[in-house]
Amino acid sequence: MRLDKFLKVSRIIKRRSVAKEIADQGRILINDRTAKSSTDVSVNDQIVIKFGNKTLTIRVDALLETTKKDDAERMYTILSEDYAQDFRK
């Protein structure tokens, strides 16, 4: 399954176009390699997504073509969720 579709179907990112944009900016790694939106995702892959001030690391548990909201969370496991420190006062 393509990376941008996985991110949309799993509801990690709400729109496929946004997932494509983030991936094509080099802000997503799959197994420590920079991934493009068309990169194939497999079960047990580790994905690191760099949002603005948050870095999300997940493991792919299942690939489903379509999901309901409750089923989407079964597609991945969150390994870590780190927030950048804001040192301004």
88 has a pLDDT exceeding 80: no
With contact defined as beta carbons under 8 Å apart, do 50 and 27 qualify? yes
Three-state SS at 25: coil
89 has a pLDDT exceeding 50: no
* Chain segment 17-28, per-residue pLDDT in tens: 999 999 999 999
What pLDDT is attached to residue 70? 78
Identify the band that residue 86 occupies on the pLDDT scale cut at 50, 70 and 90: low
Please, what CATH class does the domain formed by 3-83 belong to?
alpha beta
Count of CB atoms situated within 10 Å of the CB of 24: 14
Domain residue ranges of the chain, discontinuous segments joined by +: 3-83
Containing 34, the helix (H) or strand (E) segment is strand 33-34
* Chain segment 40-83, per-residue pLDDT in tens: 999 999 999 998 889 999 999 988 888 788 778 888 999 998 88
Three-state SS at 7: helix
